[in-house]
């Protein structure tokens, strides 16, 4: 099949939400409707001793939350879908932000009971920065929730985006009867089935279907009036505005009960964008270009703890990837070959012979890769826009078992390579500090160090405000900083100089005394250029 045909088949997207809105459950049900799985695991049920397909870390299974993005590739009709399930918890937001650089569109899940929540707004801001096309799925219609019109108004106000409902609920909670699909003018009658697709779902041919009126009586007339109101207020759906990020189509349903999912999935594959161009250091790279290129947006250690494998996840941006072919590692300036590239259904891997733009593949990594690395067929550009954020919580690493020092060093190196946290080493090498965005990350790090690397440690409190990357032209520019603030200077893993400020006031005073230095609260992975030798 030609590259152009393969491009048209690809849909690469992420599912994002505030915690507990039903994101991972929706992911499961999309797999169920595609036929990728036959029975869905209950995310939090103790009766069914299964866990969500996309939650494969042991700590995720224990807590019932996602703490790392997972990659799921599957087919639906003639489409190849690459779905990235992301953590909803704010403590793992950095992993979500990085994942959003590797997708072409997003499905945003909102709880119909709680409406737009804090993390929903933050995630939407990231999507708006890149004009990422967004489809909104309003979930949990089987519960008594907010009025649909009120929810639509709140979404427009809080998320600063125009909406256009493409499905609409018939009732809610105990009176939930089904979902009317505005996009193709059909109505599906609701029957709850949490684990399998209900074979006997009855579909009516739109709101004027005589059978619908016969079945629901006056309630069918109410639904007809609601749909007329929606069509009058929101006007015609314009796909161009959706693709440019100006308009968000909205769907309603109940992910736990498999309802509204087929409508969402069918419309998604019809309207979601194929692979789009990506920005690089030499301009935009188009997917249809013949030469292969791709970038690493995620690294995961011990995906399979039995084999101690480390996997680099690569988003393919142009050309065709082929197994056992040499590719150019731009940062290391060397050729590399990959005999066992893999595609994923969460933890389950399968060998890949060829892959195309939009695909996400896993490359076994012996330590060659860092997040943000670019692979090409010889070109020296790098992809842009993969962020490193300043941590807000800092802890000093204290080894609890001196006989396991090597295991602790290895574990911290691997886990910080993943982007789970950032490692800062004091300039004199005496102190190691871990910086994270959220407190829960320390629990994950401690758990994984013990269970995957056999190392145990404590995290001691460090009074700090924020970390700032210091950029300068010559050593004289930071003489005052070195003299007065030497105890607060660290190197990150890329040997960049970092100032960890105690307070906002100390940062302000440091800036005043070092006017020729620049203090950055975030940098791009491929733009970290300050070298240790300069200090």
| Strands (E) located in 232-325 | 247-252, 278-280, 283-285, 293-301, 310-318, 321-322
* Alpha-carbon separation of residue 215 from 179, 184, 204, 219, 220 (angstroms): 15, 21, 10, 9, 8
Can you say whether residue 453 is alpha, beta or left, with left for phi > 0 and alpha for psi between -120 and 50 degrees? alpha
The yes/no answer on whether domain 387-534 falls in CATH 3.30.428.10 is no
Same-fold call for 13-69+80-271 versus 278-376: yes
State the maximum Cα–Cα separation within the chain, in Å, rounded to a whole number.
Answer: 84
pLDDT at 219: 80
pLDDT at 525: 59
CATH code, 278-376: 3.40.50.300
Name the average pLDDT for the chain.
84
Task: Read off the DSSP letter of residue 259.
Answer: B
Report the C-alpha dihedral over residues 525, 530, 533, 535, rounded to 10 degrees.
-130
**How far is CA 523 from its chain centroid?**
19
pLDDT at 337: 95
Domain-by-domain residue ranges, the chain? 13-69+80-271, 278-376, 387-534
**How far is CA 305 from its chain centroid?**
23
The tens digit of pLDDT for each residue in 155-205 reads 999 999 999 999 998 888 888 888 888 888 887 777 665 555 554 456 677
What topology is assigned to 13-69+80-271 in CATH?
Rossmann fold (3.40.50)
Residue 467: strand, helix, or coil: strand
pLDDT at 201: 57
For the record, the structure tokens of 219 come out as 């309630």
Q: What is the pLDDT along the chain (535 residues), one digit of tens a residue?
A: 689 999 999 999 999 888 888 888 898 888 888 887 766 553 333 333 344 444 445 544 454 444 445 688 889 999 999 998 776 555 556 677 788 889 999 999 999 999 999 888 888 888 888 899 999 999 999 899 899 999 999 999 999 999 999 999 888 888 888 888 888 888 777 766 555 555 445 667 777 778 777 778 778 888 888 888 898 999 889 999 999 999 999 999 999 888 888 889 999 999 999 999 999 999 999 999 999 999 998 888 766 656 567 889 999 999 999 999 999 999 999 999 999 998 877 556 789 999 999 999 999 988 889 888 999 999 999 998 777 777 889 999 999 998 999 999 988 988 888 777 889 999 877 789 999 877 888 888 898 889 888 999 999 999 999 999 999 998 888 988 998 888 999 999 888 899 999 999 999 999 999 999 999 887 765 544 333 233 3
The tens digit of pLDDT for each residue in 499-515 reads 999 999 999 999 999 99
Q: How far apart are CA 294 and CA 278, in angstroms?
A: 10
pTM here? 0.80
């Amino acid at each position: 099949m030609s590259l152009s045909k393969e491009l048209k088949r690809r849909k690469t997207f992420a599912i994002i939400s505030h915690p507990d809105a039903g994101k991972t459950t929706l992911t499961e049900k999309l797999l169920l409707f595609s036929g990728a799985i036959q029975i869905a695991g209950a995310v939090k049920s103790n009766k069914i001793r299964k866990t969500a397909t996309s939650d494969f870390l042991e700590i995720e299974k224990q807590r019932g939350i996602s703490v790392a993005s997972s990659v799921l590739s599957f087919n639906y009709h003639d489409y190849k879908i690459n779905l990235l399930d992301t953590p909803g918890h704010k403590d793992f937001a950095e992993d979500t932000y990085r994942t959003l650089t590797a997708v072409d569109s997003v499905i945003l899940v909102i709880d119909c009971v709680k409406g737009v929540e804090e993390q929903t707004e933050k995630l939407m801001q990231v999507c708006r920065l890149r004009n990422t096309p967004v489809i909104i799925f309003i979930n949990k219609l089987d519960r008594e929730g907010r009025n649909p019109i009120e929810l639509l108004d709140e979404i427009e106000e809080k998320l600063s985006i125009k909406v256009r409902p493409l499905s609409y609920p018939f009732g809610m909670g105990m009176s939930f009867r089904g979902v009317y699909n505005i996009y193709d003018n059909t109505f599906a009658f609701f029957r709850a089935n949490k684990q399998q697709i209900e074979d006997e779902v009855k579909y009516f041919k739109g709101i004027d279907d005589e059978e619908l009126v016969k079945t629901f009586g006056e309630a069918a007339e109410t639904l007809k009036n609601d749909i007329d109101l929606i069509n009058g207020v929101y006007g015609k759906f314009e796909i161009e505005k959706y693709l440019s990020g100006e308009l968000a189509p909205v769907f309603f349903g109940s992910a736990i009960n498999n309802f509204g999912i087929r409508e969402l999935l069918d419309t998604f594959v019809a309207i979601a964008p194929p692979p789009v161009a990506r920005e690089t250091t030499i301009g935009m790279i188009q997917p249809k270009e013949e030469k292969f290129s791709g970038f690493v947006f995620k690294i995961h250690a011990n995906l399979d703890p039995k084999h101690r494998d480390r996997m680099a996840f690569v988003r393919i941006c142009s050309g065709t990837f082929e197994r056992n072919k040499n590719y150019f590692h731009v940062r290391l300036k060397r050729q590399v070959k990959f005999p066992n590239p893999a595609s994923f259904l969460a933890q389950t891997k399968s060998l890949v012979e060829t892959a195309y733009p939009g695909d996400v593949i896993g490359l076994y990594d012996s330590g060659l890769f860092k997040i943000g690395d670019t692979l090409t067929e010889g070109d020296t550009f790098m992809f842009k826009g993969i962020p490193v954020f300043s941590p807000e919580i800092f802890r000093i690493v204290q080894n609890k078992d001196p006989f396991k020092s090597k295991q602790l060093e290895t574990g911290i190196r691997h886990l910080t390579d993943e982007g789970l946290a950032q490692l800062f080493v004091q300039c004199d090498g005496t102190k190691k500090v871990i910086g994270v965005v959220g407190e829960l990350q320390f629990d994950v790090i401690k758990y994984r160090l013990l269970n995957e690397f056999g190392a145990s440690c404590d995290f001691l409190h460090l009074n700090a405000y924020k970390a700032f990357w210091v950029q300068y032209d010559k050593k004289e520019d930071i003489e005052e900083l070195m003299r007065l603030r030497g105890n607060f200077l660290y190197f990150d893993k890329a040997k960049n100089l970092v100032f960890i400020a105690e307070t906002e006031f100390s940062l302000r005073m440091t800036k005043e005394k070092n006017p020729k230095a620049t203090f950055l609260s975030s940098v791009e992975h491929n733009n970290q250029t300050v070298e240790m030798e300069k200090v």
